Amino acid sequence: MDSFLTNVNKEIINPLIVLLFALALVYFLYGVFEFLVGAASEEKKTDGKSHMLWGIVGITIMMGVWTILGIVTRTLNIDSQVKPQTNEVKLDSYNPGGNWFK
């Protein structure tokens, strides 16, 4: 089961994140191109501004997700146990009884 989840993360989720970043960047750059080429037309400039704005929104949302994930892993002190580059997660074993009720 671990290898299945590792493969899903490695083969599907990570490339999807990279793809979404790339699409947001391309959308932003398309807006810049449209703004510069259509400088004579106010409608083209407005469309270009809109594309740039939504490209920046997409990039900002994705950077926010990565930031939140980083904060959570550091807060829970699992940043040294989670290595996304190698798709490794090493957590302490779960002890439901523990010393909570003694």
For 20-65, write each residue's pLDDT tens digit.
Answer: 889 999 999 999 999 999 989 999 999 999 999 999 999 998 888 7
Whole-angstrom Cα distance, residue 92 to residue 14?
25
Q: Over range 9-14, report the average pLDDT.
A: 70
Does a structural domain hold residue 43? yes
- Domain range for 76: 2-89
**Domains in the chain: how many in total?**
1
Q: Is residue 96 part of a domain?
A: no
Q: In this structure, is residue 72 part of a structural domain?
A: yes
Whether the pLDDT of residue 101 is over 70: the answer is: no
